[in-house]
Structure 1
């Protein structure tokens, strides 16, 4: 039998499912992948339900998905896809580089996270890397992660409040600085409701009844010391 050299054998293309609820973005993403050798787009979806069905039917190697879908978050979809198909790989392509979203995507099992606006070469390289089992994060996301972990290492309240998550500790520090819930939401680019949910968890873990008690605990632990405002508002 004649031997066949590696150069004579074309590698199978990476099969990709695209998930985004913006038709123009889907079209642009399709246009990025289709002209390239080594990629095969097996389907497109605009909802989580549609994506789950297509993933089960077409079994793509990589699912490229947005976080903001009309019927479920991309985080929930990532968990669902990987629960149904542990061999699948997920690459998040989102407008958000918020720490919470990046870390939630990582915990859900995403193999990569890029911010929309990444160039063609970056997207193609990320799909290849994720398909091969690697992890990839765009420059903006990597910078945010580095800043996030650096802040954790320097956080004065980490030892005082070991039960708090990094985000809860950050919010407690901002509360201790005198910021209102709306200001915290704008600062962290999250919703007011998300801030209030975190504050509820903080109260429970600190075993305090209101915001004023939480602020006292926080300031005693060294949080909110840089120009902290005096007095607490009636919120919370």
Structure 2
């Protein structure tokens, strides 16, 4: 399949009365989450709303909940990151990779994505937003070859822990950390992956629930360390 080059967001004005009519309003607490970089978060959200469905990055029903279900959902993970090299496996639309790059300029995000069209989007969006703390690598997680091991690795809605852990563990340095965004069945996934966790010398495994009392779309995170 031939991919059509992704048009720079900076060169295209949003058509009046189109997608903007369907995007939910920015929640009041978003500005506090992004601080002085909230304008970058807004630009990214607008770009995703404008091109996301066309490029197969988000589904047709996501615009009315784009901020709460996706942008804020990812930004809640930002405080869990440490300054350093952070990989995002299966970056797709840049959720959470580009959101985290906006929220945490002290981290360098390595966005790992196998699909060419999505890689093009990630590279173009990082360039348009001026995100110098982003590198995009076209590869599957298990095939990615990085020059330097990661301090942390994250992923969102990629695959079950029993497959995700083996696919990403080799990307991390000793003492590196997994920070995986998961769904409501995360506890079942942890149980199903118990032997995988032991096999790959994963310690300190825990499930965190973020956003309680703040947003209706809670963020569940599996966090663990490789030793």
Shared fold per TM-score greater than 0.5? no
Structure with higher helix content: 1
Q: TM-score, normalised by structure 1?
A: 0.34
Q: TM-score, normalised by structure 2?
A: 0.35
Structure with higher strand content: 2
Higher RCO (C-alpha 8 Å, min separation 6): 2
* Greater C-alpha Rg: 1
